[in-house]
Structure 1
Amino acid sequence: MKFETKYLIRWGIPGWVFIFWLFYAFIFLKDINILDVKSLELSKGLALLISLAALGVPVGYIFHQIYFGIIWVANVTNKSRNYDEIANKIGSNFPKHAEWGNDTNEDYYQFEYVWHMVLLNQNEETRKYLEGRYSHLLSTIHSLGSLFISSAFSFLTSIVLIWNLQNDLTSWIYVIIGLTTQFIVFTSAMFNYIYFSNNLNAFQIKIMKTYL
């Protein structure tokens, strides 16, 4: 997959999901029959849809930054996170820096440094496999994190819109279907994020334990 395509998908999907639920609120909840729309209005609608599809990428990028700041960075710098426990799982061969345990950020940077040094010390075939596996897990984690944040914003935005459009609603079945689907996507992204995060941590620990 090309670099541009990879990030287009990673940032586009969260943005497109959010925009889809905005459309859902205005079209389905207000019972707008798109088949009755005149051709001129349909052309304008298609132009708007294309514009929103393009807008989905920067919107998704913003969701990615929110996710990265709140979940990833905050988790890494969390003072309660015990990198000493992680190092102990790897074993006595894990090289700790001089001020290990005093700064969570520095402990994390050391962990990442050791991980990359382990990769560099492998032969080309082994390194290529490890890098590919690591990249796949990390990319999946970031994609799920962005989707998690997007789904959370979509869910909250839908509740606000439903509250404001409740007098115009023709059927509450669309409300139930929409909120249920969003909740399923939200919880699925959350559980999958936790699973792949634990998978990545276990993968790094076991590989460093093997090759250090």
Structure 2
Amino acid sequence: MNVESKYIIRWGIPGWLIIIYYLLLDHAFSKQKVYYLDNPPPIEVIVALLTAVSFGLIVGYLLHQAYFAMEWIFGRGSQEVSLEIKQVLEGAGLHYGIEKEPERQYFYFEYLWQKSLANIQTSHKMEYLSARYRHLLTKTQELGVLRFSIIICLIITGYFILFENMLLLGICLFIILGILLLFVHKAHRYFTKNTHYFMAYNLRDLLREQKELNKH
């Protein structure tokens, strides 16, 4: 199975962040080190790096799945986007609220969006809208998973504060990670709203265009 490099980086960064953060704290403060880092044999360094890279990919991929589950299956993702798209369409006099459940409503809007893109006559416009939507969606997902990674780093910091006697540094790390988490959360909300309304306003325009074409 071939995996593109962009997916390796996308899945790897959240997992590598957690692993590197833990290993740095463990080497600095833990009484029992995970790795003996003073002049290790080269072969052990290579094996350790390959293991860390592979494990980071697995952790990152699992975090992506957890993000999807928390945001869409157990969260309010589908309800939020359905409401925002519905408001834009109904504000333009376009009524497509045939589904009652927010999740099914979102699936219907997604269907309309994909169908409207496929019906665009100009290939340049279709490619632009598709690429822009994909970019916004990817950034939203990346920031959501990064938020998960920072939360896990906060939990790791709490562990070292409680069991490895690093109260002062732990509090400083908590503050730094907390600020980073706030920034990432704000960026995630920005891209989430941007993605929703990009889809909503363009879907509105595409449906209007299709409606005008059907009149002629």
Same fold (TM over 0.5): yes
Which AA in structure 2 matches 1:6? K
Relative to structure 1, is the Cα distance of residues 210 and 164 closer, same or farther in structure 2, using a 3 angstrom cutoff?
same
Relative to structure 1, is the Cα distance of residues 25 and 177 closer, same or farther in structure 2, using a 3 angstrom cutoff?
same
1:211 to 196, 206, 215: 206
Residue in structure 2 matched with residue 53 of structure 1 by the alignment: 53
Deviates more, 1:42-51 or 1:121-130: 42-51
Matches within 5 A, 1:118-157: 118-122=116-120, 123-157=122-156
Residue in structure 1 matched with residue 213 of structure 2 by the alignment: none
Residue in structure 1 matched with residue 191 of structure 2 by the alignment: 196
Deviations 1:61-103 (A, max 9, x none): 111111110123322355xx48356323122235333xx3x21
Residue in structure 1 matched with residue 210 of structure 2 by the alignment: none
Which AA in structure 2 matches 1:120? A
Sequence identity, in percent? 25
Relative to structure 1, is the Cα distance of residues 16 and 178 closer, same or farther in structure 2, using a 3 angstrom cutoff?
same
Give distance in 1, aligned partners of 2:147 and 2:56. Answer: 16
Q: What is the deviation of 1:204?
A: 1.1
2:181 to 174, 186, 189: 186
Deviates more, 1:136-145 or 1:179-188: 179-188
Q: RMSD over aligned Cα, in angstroms? A: 2.7
Relative to structure 1, is the Cα distance of residues 154 and 6 closer, same or farther in structure 2, using a 3 angstrom cutoff?
same
1:114 to 112, 115, 132: 112
Q: Contact 1:67/1:146 (CA < 8 Å) preserved in 2?
A: yes
Q: Which runs of 5+ in 1 are unaligned?
A: none
Instruction: Give the number of equivalent residue pairs.
Output: 200
Q: Contact 1:151/1:182 (CA < 8 Å) preserved in 2?
A: yes
Q: What is the deviation of 1:46?
A: 4.8
Q: Contact 2:151/2:181 (CA < 8 Å) preserved in 1?
A: yes
Q: Contact 1:76/1:108 (CA < 8 Å) preserved in 2?
A: no
TM-score, normalised by the number of residues in structure 2: 0.81
Relative to structure 1, is the Cα distance of residues 126 and 3 closer, same or farther in structure 2, using a 3 angstrom cutoff?
farther
Greater relative CO (CA pairs within 8 A, separation 6+): 1
Task: Please say if 1:172 is aligned against 2:163.
Answer: no
TM-score, normalised by the number of residues in structure 1: 0.82
Give distance in 1, aligned partners of 2:47 and 2:197. Answer: 47
Residue in structure 2 matched with residue 104 of structure 1 by the alignment: 102
Q: Contact 1:13/1:56 (CA < 8 Å) preserved in 2?
A: yes
Which AA in structure 2 matches 1:195? Y
Relative to structure 1, is the Cα distance of residues 124 and 187 closer, same or farther in structure 2, using a 3 angstrom cutoff?
same
Q: What is the deviation of 1:39?
A: 4.1
Give distance in 1, aligned partners of 2:25 and 2:102. Answer: 44
Residue in structure 1 matched with residue 39 of structure 2 by the alignment: 38
Give distance in 2, aligned partners of 1:9 and 1:105. Answer: 30
Residue in structure 1 matched with residue 160 of structure 2 by the alignment: 161
Q: What is the deviation of 1:159?
A: 0.6
Deviates more, 1:109-118 or 1:127-136: 109-118
Q: Contact 1:15/1:56 (CA < 8 Å) preserved in 2?
A: yes
Give distance in 1, aligned partners of 2:43 and 2:104. Answer: 56
Q: Which runs of 5+ in 2 are unaligned?
A: 208-216
